[in-house]
């Protein structure tokens, strides 16, 4: 039977454990990713929208069926 690895302790409790914070990008389609390099991405890698970092001005609403 394989031995289980001990769980990671909070930062500062053990030697060799650190907390790393990474900033990423989020598209208005909901996709999140970490950008490569220092430049801002031109398009969302999932939906290919060039307006990934701008809020939507309006949304389609479904008509109410009677």
Give 32-51 pLDDT, tens digit per residue: 999 888 888 999 999 999 99
Supply the pLDDT for residue 60.
Answer: 84
Task: HSE, CB side, 13 Å, CA atoms: give it for residue 16.
Answer: 1
The model's pTM: 0.59
First to last CA, the chain: 63
**Average pLDDT across the chain, whole number:** 83
* Model pLDDT, residue 10: 59
């Amino acid at each position: 039977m394989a031995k289980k690895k001990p769980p990671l302790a909070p930062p500062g409790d053990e030697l060799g454990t650190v907390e790393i914070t990474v900033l990423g990008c989020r598209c208005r389609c909901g996709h999140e990713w970490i950008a490569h390099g220092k430049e801002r991405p031109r398009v969302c890698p999932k939906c290919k929208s060039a307006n990934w970092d701008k809020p939507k001005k309006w949304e389609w609403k479904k008509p109410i069926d009677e």
